[in-house]
Every structure is written in C-alpha cells, then in structure tokens.
Chains A and B, each alone.
Chain A
C-alpha cells in the first residue's frame, strides 16, 4: 500500500471525476483497475501520485479550485522510516528542522510508529537513508 493523504476539494463547487491518463504508472488509492478518481468536498484518501494528478487537473478548471489536505496521512507498511530507530528518527528531525517527537511532555516516550506518522504528516517525503547511514545500525 502506498502512502495515502486525506484530501478534499476546498471550494464547494462540483464533484470531479478525473480519469487516469492512458498508461499512467502512478500508484492508485483504490482498485488497481479503476479508471478515475472521484473527488468532492468530502475528504478521501489519495496517493501522492493522485494528489499531483488532481492538482494538475484543477489547473484546467475555469474557476479557482484547490485540493486541500486535512493532514491525515496513512503510511505505507513498507515505509523505510518505520525501520529506523528512535536515535535515527531524532537525527532526521534535527537535520530536517522538524519538531522533536521523541517524548510526550509528562508522559514518556512515543512509539516509533507514532513518530513516523507525525514526521510524514509534517510533509517529509525522504527515505531516511541519510540518517540511518550516519548512525550505527540497531541490532
């Protein structure tokens, strides 16, 4: 499963049915054989590729329309960040100028899954290779 972002049409105009271009190789949020994206003012999950496709399509409309992101991200189960240690994630956050998420004030330490969710929600799209390479691997 590809990483998904929750999105909706910001302007309450019309629902759009956007066909995948012929031969499109991007990741699909729904059926592999689906031929279009239905997007309206009700939030739904889209892959990063679909977000780009929709944003490109919106430029063709004769009226202003935006694809709004709610912030909700569903990470890919094979997201490389999920393999990183707390130390590696901390290094990533420090280098990428992201908020530190290692601990919760007065509550202890977050799980790595929570941290990856937050990092992805912040918009970071990296693979984490630089940070894991800089640091000793976990056992």
Chain B
C-alpha cells in the first residue's frame, strides 16, 4: 500500500541492475493525543520575558524566571495594583504540579527599561556591561534627580525641569530641598513632558510645602537697578610695556640673548619680550644673564634695552587695598572698546599687579572700572525682608543664570544688596525674581534588593581571568568562575554568562534568566599589572598604609566595600585576600589650595570640617599623600612632611584620601606597600530598571497578544502537541480585552476564561454581562469571578481573581484523568485557599447561571466549590465544558498532526483513503477505549468516520462521535412506595 509516510532506501548497483530496495513505512496509529492541561496567561509581571510567550513547567521554574527563588511572595504586587501573579499562585496552588503554564508579560507603553551596571577596568575604562535579562524595576530601581530648581510648588506638589523622568518612577523616593532639613516621601510623579521636560512630584498629604516655605521662583517687591561697572576711586597709569633692567646683546642669527646687569630669572618661560616692536617668546632661562627665545630677532642688538609686558598698575589717590581684592577685574575703556584684566595681587593702595598686561597703554590720570556687585532698589523694595545671604537671584538678562546674594545693606539710606558675581549687563527698574530652592529626589531601594554583581579573580585562572557572582535580592543566582574579555577565549564572558542562564529560546533569539553580558573591551586582552583590562568593582593604588588601613583616592564605592573582599596584592598573591571591616571614601576638597613646604593654605576651603590630624592630604600633581599634622583653620593646616614640589595658588583637585580598613591582628604593612595595586570585590548594584507606566493600563497592552492575525501564542506552541490552550488575562475584567480574548480563542479552537467584574453583584447582571456585553460563546466563565484569600502582606484578606485557582484545578482534574478533560464541578471541586467570595449566590441564582453557561462559585461544606460545568454556547451539546474542550482539542490535534500533514501533498495516491481511514479509526478506537465516547453504544454506533474521495480538488473527512459523561437531566420521583431515579445523556456529536 502506497502511503505518504514512508522512506525508501536502495542498496546495490546503479539503477537497472539487481539490488535491494527497503521501504520503511510508519504505522497507522500515529495520531498522538496531546498532553492536556495547558494554560496561558497574559499578565503584568514584575519579572519575566516581555512580549514573548514562554512556558513555565512548575512553580520553581516560575520563581526562577519571574520571581525570587528565595521568596515565594515576591512576585505579588503588595498594593494589589496587578493581580496576574495572584492568579499564577492560584494556578500552581490548585494544579498541584499538573499542567503547564505559558506566560505572556505584555509590553506596555515602551518606557520600560532594563537595569544595568557597567564595570570599569583599573584605568577607569568601561569594559563590561551587564544588563538585567528583562525590563523592570526588579533589576535595580535606583534613580536620582540631581539638585534642580523648583519651578512651582503647592502644598503637596513641586515641579522641576528635568528630562527623562518616568511616570511614578519615584514612588517611595525621598525629596529634599536645599537649605531645608525636612525630607519628604514622594507618593507619585508624572513623566517629564516630552516638550517642556516638566515633571510634577507629589508628596504625602501629611506634609505642606507651603507651610515649610518651599516655593517656585518669587518676585522681589519693587524694582531694582544695576550698573555693570563702577569707577575705581582715583586714577591710574599702566604702560603696556616696561624695560627689562640691564642691557642685552644678541644677533639676528641666534636665539640666545646675553645680558649685562640683568636678572633674567625674574622673567618666566613663555612670556613675551620685545625689541623695536618685535615680539618673541622666552623658551628657556639659563641664568640671570642668559636666556633663549623661540626665534632670532630680525635685527641684532648690542647693549640694547629690551621690554617686557607690564603687569604693574600704579594708582594716584586710589584705595586698592579696600576697594579691590585679588582676582577682581579691572576695565579700561578706549574708543568704546572695553579691555579687562584680572588683578593678581594688591601690593598697596596705589600699586597692584595684573595676571596679564593690558594690550594698550593706559596713560597717567586715566580712570578705570571694576565689576559692580551692588544692586539698588526703589522705595518699594523689601530687601531686608525678602532676601537673605545665599539667596539666588535670576539674572533678568539671562534667565538661566543666577547670582547669589552676599550681603544686604541695611545701614545705608539707599536700599541695596550685593551679589557674588556681576550680572550680565545693566538693568534699570527691573522686577527681579528670586530663584527657588533646589530639589533633590533620591530613589534608594532597600539594601540587598535588585541585581548586583561582584567581580573577583578567576577561580581556576586567577592571573588571567576574572569571576562573576550575580545576586538577586538576597540570593546568589549565577556564578561564572572564570571569564575573559577575549572573544577567542573559551571562557569569553558573553558566552560564559549568556549561555549559563537561558530562560527560553525563540528561534535564534535567546532570552536569559538573570543577566545578559556585553563586552565593551575593544583593545587587546591583557592582564598584567601594568595593563590589566579586566573589570573590577573597585581597584586602586596604595598611597599610604599602616597596620590596619590602606589609603587611596580611587574611584569606587568605598561604602559598598565594607564586609567584602580585599585583594591587597592581586598580581603577586592572587589567592590571598582579606575581609574589609571598614572604609571611607576620598573627599574632593572644596575651594582651591596652595602648598608651600608643609604649610597648606586654602581659599574657600573647609579644612576644619574636612580634616583631622592623622588624615592624609592628597596632592593632585605628585599623586601622593602626606599626613596632616595640625589643622589651624578652614584655610590653613600643616603637614608632617613636604611634597616634592610646592603647589601654586589656585590648585584644584586636592583631596582627603579615603581608606580601607581590615580586622585587628592583621598588619597590612607586611603585605602591602605604597604603590601596590589592590582590588576589592563587592556587590555592585544594577540601576535604572523601570516597569513602565503601570498606572495607565490600556486594553491594547493585552489585546495585542490576542490577535488571530498575529498569533504569537499559536506560533510559539505550534507543533508542540499542546492541544487545547485555556487562556485568560487574570484580573482584567473589562469588556474590550475579554471580547477580544474570546474571539481569539474561538478563532484558534482554544478557550478563553472570562471574569465578571466585581461591580456585578447578582446573577441576572452577570448573565447580562456575558450575553449582552460580551455577546460571546465558546468561553468559560465563573461567577463570582473574585474571591478573598488570606493576605500574604499582613492581616486581613486579599481580593484575587479566581481564574488561576479554577484553571489550576481544571489542570489537576485533567491530569488525574489521563489527560482528558472532565467536568470540574461538584463538592470535591474545592478552591481551597478561598476564604470568602465577592458575591454570595442564592440557590435560585444557580438556575439562571447554569442555563447561561456560567459556573457558579459558592460555599459548600465550608469550602468554595465550582458548582457548574457549562460554558456559554450556541449549541447545548457544547455547553458542557468537558465536551467542548474535547472537541477543540481534536481540532488542534488534527490541525497540527504530523501524520495528517504528511498526507497533505499526497492526493490521488492509491490507498490514500484507506490510509486516512485507518489513521482516524485507529485514533477513534483508542479514544473509545479510553471512555471518551459513549460506552453504552458499540464502537460503530458511537463513532462514524467517513472519508470522501481525495481528488485534485481535495477531500473531506467526517468524524462524528457521541460524547460520554454528559449528564443532561436527572429525574427523581419520591413517593410513599417508590423511589425512581433516571438520567438522560446527550447523544449527539459531531
């Protein structure tokens, strides 16, 4: 018999010659019953692959992919804002290990982000990115709004101009305002407006920003005037150039100048010198009488006088010491051009030096200007009441610039105040605006929450590889003992990480469980001490060391290092490590410093707050530290020893060194020296994860996965022999989603479980909701659809959809009945965790619900039970869920059957009809034997299989059967002499 399902092998000589032909032909009984009990949920989850259906075969797998393996209640939303996870709990609780669950975590508004961390190497270059496997705050929600001015403030809200803020991203964050000690808990925030960038934060109603004096920008009463410059008292003279003392000899072919009576060491390399108007740059100074310039003068000089830039201003009737200070600007106006130069030092009331010379001669008797820092007001101003030192005032000429009030003059008859720096330009009778406070918002998740990673040395290859330990909340979830940034290395980090935590494969796309690694290293992979490119949590260089402390100024999170591992010498002793018992981060000093010998002087510094004797002062030029011996004031302190070179005034970047401290009994000086490179390994947290705006859910977020045209779920399970899928969106009881869900299920011969909203509290309304609003059939629905269970988060009860519990029980029943769907109803169909129901049904309600195909949920013998086995249907036969499920299961089975599909392209072959008939009959006999069909009838009466002739235009297979186990009516007659009971089964099937 020729069949489509066969393989032919020929052994022997070429065609035409005798040989052996072997025909391998499949058996006829090749229609395999699907594994029943598959359920699919579209549900908002905290964790899990987004937008892709994926299977979870058990509760433990669910906790791995969507939860916290060490905390079974972690997936639930404490605030009840989403109930999908509650239904999943119910499913696993009732299924008892039976069945398989497919989950779709819907993509929302596109604002969802994955948490990530980028690890740097010793040189500070980013070399490895680790990203949470999927979107959400689960990976790490840390976020911060850096200090930014408050634009509006009401009692419980404030507005800032800050792009990138996401809706409700900062729920639970702490807001603080500059100059205020109170902190405020944020209860909500809007997303940044895409055009204006404005975001509104709402704080708890127990606060009042109005009462606390927090406001947006405020107008200062009255009007104010300001002149950009003010005259310096007296007059000055300042020639552009002055003679260099002594005389000089040079020729026009050489760059060397020989002096006589000169003190060239008073000059400086890089400055200009002049002769006959020709300028050259000093390139070296050998002695007081020898220097070189960049190129020869064009005209030789013999005992001539040369000039240099004049930096000295001479005053007449001036009061430089009181009216100016170092760093102030002097301005000279000539031909409507303003020339400005900075004051270097003030020698006396009549002499000062500049940092650079004026470009023109300023003749004797000239008046010069300086910056005006005083604003005057009219009589309506209330500077004394409305301003205070430190207040920021918006520059009326440049709205994004502010100046700070430094003094308010209340002694003068003229109302005025001074500022720290000049306004951009003059203004007259302007209404000034006082800048508001600055707000800082910090979302700091509790300790040990989210993803974190610690990086250590490779366990097997510590000198050439590194290790990664990934933690989620309090559990270590992934260990990579050896990894490399070399793509050719068998331990390449992307392979080592990404292949070690696979959640699901969808074609070529692979989804991870926890993290996805990306190497950012684009240089050669080297691991020697001098050029180590491996990532670290913290790495640095020892600047000073004592028995228990190791001082450094490197850039890592010292606070996180406490309690973690210190490798004092990873390059010489890679397997030697200590536990860090204490740490303090380095501090960048405010202001500027100068160092002369052991004396440190500061400008705008806070030495008394920053230092104590014994601390280490870091010199940014020599990159070394010296111990502080004495702190004299905020601007002066003394070191124990001098640095190799003094630091000039104005030096920035000086620091107080940080340190790492180890336990008592350890002498770090014996294992570490200044200049050694060390590393620390600690849990570095992922940041920036966001769930999307889950407060503004749209039906589309669910219906996008319920489209018959773009059937992601069907594509994912096609060919997996899952048969009937029972689908639901637990906790979603709206009409739009559910109508689409039922239509989708009907289009695919699946079943959608509908929920009746809790606002419907009687049977008639429930019937109307299903029949009128949904207007559907072929689904399943229970009423009430919601119940109360014990609250995992505290006292009281928690409202949950019963969808998960019911579907789990259905899976359990199916599993215990050899995979066949049976009626899940009756006194034993208990929803064990349900303590109460959203609506209590009366016995009369059950009649209405039953005829409408709505399963009643009621309390019986102390437990909530399913008291109904029907679903909404146009045909009575299929109103029984077990019948309709068997029917749909057959559709899916035949649709995806490999055996039938193999015959698809074999029409008109001899015996094709026989083949199909045998295939179907074999399947039917097995089903009959399994009591799927009415066993009171013989097989030939219970099942009819008829195959019409397959031709080029196609053929038909009619498969009809009489389903079993359907009890339609029960008659009980009770009289004085007789008790008669009878039942009637439906006896038609297609």
Max chain B Cβ within 10 angstroms of own Cβ: one of A13, A31, A36, A99: A13
Most buried by A among B221, B734, B801: B734
Given contacts A43-B695, A118-B154, A121-B157, contact A12 B735 (CB under 8 A): no
Contact of A105 among B82, B168, B213, B695 (CB under 8 A): B213
- In the docked arrangement, what's the CA distance between A72 and B210, Å? 14
Question: CB distance B153 to A114 under 8 Å?
Answer: yes
A109 in the interface, Cβ–Cβ < 8 Å?
yes
What string of 1s and 0s marks CB contacts (under 8 Å) between B621-662 and chain A?
000000000000000000000000000000000000000000
Asked whether, in the complex, the Cβ of B386 is within 8 Å of the Cβ of A118, the reply is no
B166 contacts A by Cβ under 8 Å: no
User: Which residues in chain A, 80-118, are within 8 Å of chain B measured between CB atoms?
Assistant: 99, 101, 103-111, 113-114, 117-118
**Contacts A13-B80, A40-B82, A61-B758; A117 near B154 (Cβ below 8 A):** yes
The answer for the CA separation of A114 and B752 in the assembled complex, in Å, is 51
Does A42 reach chain B (CB closer than 8 Å)?
Answer: yes
Find out whether the CB atom of B216 lies under 8 angstroms from the CB atom of A42: no
* A99 CB, nearest partner CB in chain B, Å: 8
Interface pair A15/B152, CB less than 8 Å apart: no
Contacts of A6 in B (CB 8 A): 188, 202
One of B155, B694, B699, B759 near A42 (C-beta < 8 A): B694
Within 8 A of A (CB), among B194-212: 200, 202, 205, 210
A118 and B208 alpha carbons, distance in the complex (Å): 11
Per the 8 Å Cβ criterion, residues 40-76 of A in contact with B are: 40-45, 57, 60-63, 70-74
CB of A34 within 8 Å of the partner chain: yes
The answer, yes or no, to whether A32 is at the interface (CB within 8 Å) is: no
Say yes or no: A118-B155 contact (C-beta < 8 A), given A62-B839, A106-B213: yes
State in angstroms the CA–CA spacing of A70 and B78 once bound together. 19
- Given the known A-B contacts A61-B759, A107-B213, A121-B156, are A19 and B83 also in contact in the complex, defined by CB atoms under 8 Å? no
Contact of A107 among B205, B386, B839 (CB under 8 A): B386
Residues of the A chain whose Cβ atoms lie less than 8 Å from the Cβ of B219? 108-111
Nearest-Cβ distance from residue A18 to partner chain B, whole angstroms: 8
Query: Which residue on A lies nearest to B86, using beta carbons?
Result: A14
B386 touches A70 (CB 8 A): no
- Asked if residues A12 and B758 are in contact (CB atoms below 8 Å), the reply is no
Q: Assess the B155–A71 pair: CB atoms within 8 A.
A: yes
Chain A residues within 8 Å of B699, by CB? 17, 35-36
Residue ID in chain A nearest B218 by CB atoms: A108
Which chain A residues lie closer than 8 Å to B735 at the CB level?
Answer: 19, 36
Complex-state Cα separation, A96 to B905, whole angstroms: 83
B221 touches which of A36, A105, A108, A121 (Cβ 8 Å)? A108
Is the CB of B187 closer than 8 A to any CB of chain A?
yes
The docked-state distance in angstroms from the alpha carbon of A43 to that of B79 is: 11
Among A14, A41, A72, which residue has its beta carbon within 8 angstroms of that of B202?
A72
Known: A12-B80, A71-B157, A121-B154. A104 touches B696 (CB 8 A): no
Nearest opposing residue in chain B for A71, CB measure:
B156
Whether A30 sits at the interface, judged by CB under 8 Å, is yes
Q: Is the CB of B188 within 8 A of A72?
A: yes
* B window 368-383: CB within 8 A of A: 382
CB of B466 closer than 8 Å to a CB of A:
no
Residue of A42, A71, A74, A99 near B695 (CB, 8 A) is A42
- Is B190 on the interface with A (CB-CB < 8 A)? yes
Given contacts A15-B731, A71-B202, are A111 and B216 in contact (CB under 8 A)? yes
Whether B216 contacts A38 by the Cβ 8 Å rule is no
* B154 pairs with A70, CB closer than 8 A: no
Contact across chains for B153 and A45 when beta carbons are under 8 A apart:
no
Whether B606 is near chain A, meaning CB under 8 Å from some CB there, is no
Contacts of B758 in A (CB 8 A): 14, 61-63
A134 to chain B, nearest CB (A): 24
Residues of A within 8 Å of B157, CB to CB, are 71-73, 117, 121
Alpha-carbon distance A12/B788, docked complex (angstroms): 12
A117 to B158, CA, bound (A): 10
* Residues of B close to A108: CB separation below 8 A: 218-221, 382, 386, 434
Whether B386 contacts A35 by the Cβ 8 Å rule is no
Q: Is the CB of A35 within 8 A of B736?
A: yes
- Please name the residue on chain B nearest to A12 by beta carbon: B80
Contact digits for B65-97, partner A, Cβ 8 Å, 1 yes 0 no: 000000000000011111100000000000000
User: Are B81 and A42 within 8 A (Cβ)?
Assistant: yes
On whether the beta carbons of B82 and A15 are closer than 8 Å, the reply is yes
Query: Which chain B positions have C-beta within 8 A of A19?
Result: 734-736
Cα distance A71–B759 when bound, in Å? 27
Bound together, the chains give a CA A60 to CA B697 distance in angstroms of 22
Binary B-proximity of A8-30 (CB < 8 A = 1, otherwise 0):
10001111110100000000001
Chain B residues with CB under 8 Å of chain A are 78-83, 152-157, 168, 171, 187-188, 190, 200, 202, 205, 210, 213, 215-221, 382, 385-386, 388, 434, 694-699, 731-737, 757-759, 761, 786, 799-801, 838-839
Given contacts A38-B698, A41-B79, 13 further A-B contacts (CB under 8 A): A6-B188, A17-B734, A19-B735, A43-B695, A71-B157, A72-B156, A104-B218, A105-B213, A107-B215, A110-B216, A110-B218, A114-B152, A118-B154
Residue contacts A-B, CB under 8 angstroms, 16 given? A8-B695, A12-B81, A14-B83, A14-B758, A15-B82, A36-B735, A40-B82, A42-B188, A42-B695, A43-B187, A72-B154, A104-B213, A104-B215, A108-B219, A109-B219, A114-B154
- Residues of A bordering B, CB below 8 Å: 6, 8, 12-17, 19, 30-31, 34-36, 38, 40-45, 57, 60-63, 70-74, 99, 101, 103-111, 113-114, 117-118, 121
The 5 closest A-B pairs by CB, nearest first: A17-B734, A42-B695, A43-B188, A108-B218, A40-B81
